[in-house]
A and B are shown apart, each in its own frame.
Chain A
């Protein structure tokens, strides 16, 4: 029989999926089309007939259409889902990398120097709780480019978890290991690279994983705001088109891509993980 826990869990998952999709499909039937249309409905072109949350079957059909041709480009308001996701991923990765370049060295500094920790802590505490979107007007004014502004918003929201985790990881490196570096007369740079960096790496990677999760949440909102391209813009554009099927499809795609980003970072974390 099904001995494996994984196999049983998968079976239960499929069961839940079928149940939820079934309820969704049948709980919300289309309005009866056999009734004659009222005058208002005739005026509105019978649009009300489909004014309901689209059933999963419609979403699956749409997903199939979109995914079979993800990279078409038929003008500014009609691009394939692949192109839109690629724009968003590009922005997230650019902002995230820039943030890592700043946050990891500064986190090292804060973690190694109690003075810098105390000096920079008030700034971090004030800047960290600011919603990244609150920076958007300022960014648009200063940068004067919507594309770069959305990268900046990703940059600013990615900094904090990486900065704090790096500082925490570096400050928490076991005294013994630092003593090993000292008794072997390692230079400060070599100590940082060969002892502190590998010792703090799992904590740093955890910070990066949290950051990329937040960045992916924020990019959707940022793109709804600045428009043009990207998955956030796509969602908002389809809402303006009243195409709820596409909206639901893109929501699912956002989830899938977010999951893949998280899996990539968790695989990277496993590479640097060590057992004490």
Chain B
């Protein structure tokens, strides 16, 4: 088996309930390579956030292991930066101090000027400056707060960035701009990212690979969909790519229909999901290209 940068083995999380255990998810196996952007999609309650918390080290798995860069993940660490859905900024600190707070804990030996300079660089990267960085989070809009939160996560230069539905609470316009910025930052930094989302288009725009989760309880990661679209991607142009709709249709079909059909505990009828198995790999864009023939193939497959 090829060893990935991040290796998730047989991960399961069960909570003690009134009538026996409640299995949120089980048999989760996947890997993420360095520099890869992986999204995970699934319905509410399938345990996406629980997986995220385990990866962040905030929650411990019931079974299974997580390895990052060869060592096991146990407890939170500055090697993994987290952006929470509700921003989780400290409200008594100004935007810039929320970032310096993180920078200081990452590099305790740095002097004031280094910390300040580093923090401002990352605030500028997310487009925050001109006095807005001196305001408290309550005086910032939702989009600005999420920018601060992203700057804080990038500023500690984590090996792995975890994004828990970072744009879920934002309006569509703001979401679009911040997505564009995230694309730019990721292209520039080659950051390894694992992101939870509900938004199919967002996943296609950002991800190299999309993991699909079946409905809970007993949720599992059923498929790994390769997003075979060339970089750099732009929100306006990506929808004209012939590979776009095959991927989108595949994802929507999964969410609407198959996530329900495939849900429930592993049975002998679903042999592909036996313990230890990786999710099924699919590449809807390539399949579509092969169906339409080689003429368009060369035009698209620039990667």
Contacts and interface: CB of A to CB of B under 8 A. Distances in A.
Interface string B73-93: 000111011101010101110
Contact of B88 (A179, A198, A201): A179
B90 A183 contact: no
Given A179-B88, A275-B91, A186 B138 contact: no
Given A177-B90, A195-B90, A274 B138 contact: yes
A137 to B, nearest CB: 45
Given A183-B76, A184-B101, A176 B86 contact: yes
Contacts, number: 55
B80 A183 contact: yes
A60 interface: no
A199 B92 CA distance: 8
A252 interface: no
B161 to A, nearest CB: 11
A276 B82 contact: no
B148 interface: no
Most A Cβ at <10 Å: residue of B82, B88, B106, B138: B88
Main secondary structure of the interface of B (DSSP, over half): loop
Given A176-B86, A274-B136, A183 B81 contact: yes
Most A Cβ at <10 Å: residue of B58, B105, B136: B105
Contacts of B78: 183-185
A199 B136 CA distance: 14
Contacts of B77: 183, 185
Interface in A245-275: 272, 274-275
Interface string B164-196: 000000000000000000000000000000000
B135 to A, nearest CB: 11
B102 interface: yes
Interface string A192-232: 00110011010000000000000000000000000000000
B105 A184 contact: yes
Nearest to A198: B92
Interface residues of A, number: 19
Contact of A183 (B58, B91, B136): B58
Contacts of A275: 91, 136, 138-139
A176 B105 CA distance: 17
Contacts of A199: 90, 92
A242 interface: no
Interface residues of B, number: 23
A183 B92 contact: no
A179 B75 CA distance: 11
Nearest to B84: A176
Contacts of A52: none
Given A184-B102, A274-B92, A179 B84 contact: yes
B58 A185 contact: no
B149 to A, nearest CB: 10
Contacts of B156: 184
A198 B76 contact: no
A155 to B, nearest CB: 30
Contact of B91 (A179, A190, A276): A276
A42 interface: no
B54 interface: no
Interface string A53-85: 000000000000000000000000000000000
Nearest to B156: A184
A171 to B, nearest CB: 18
A180 interface: yes
Contacts of A128: none
Nearest to A182: B76
A182 B76 CA distance: 6
Contacts of B80: 183
A143 B255 CA distance: 75
Contacts of A198: 90, 92
A231 to B, nearest CB: 38
Contacts of B138: 274-276
Nearest to B80: A183
Nearest to B162: A183
Contacts of A274: 91-92, 136, 138
Contacts of B40: none
Given A184-B78, A275-B136, A176 B88 contact: yes
Given A176-B84, A274-B138, A185 B76 contact: yes
Given A198-B90, A276-B91, A183 B101 contact: no
A180 B58 contact: no
24 contacts: A176-B88, A177-B88, A179-B88, A180-B90, A182-B58, A183-B76, A183-B77, A183-B82, A184-B78, A184-B102, A185-B76, A185-B78, A186-B105, A194-B101, A195-B90, A199-B90, A199-B92, A272-B92, A274-B91, A274-B92, A274-B138, A275-B136, A275-B138, A276-B91
- Please provide the 3 A-B residue pairs with the shortest distance between their CB atoms, ordered closest to farther: A275-B138, A274-B92, A176-B88
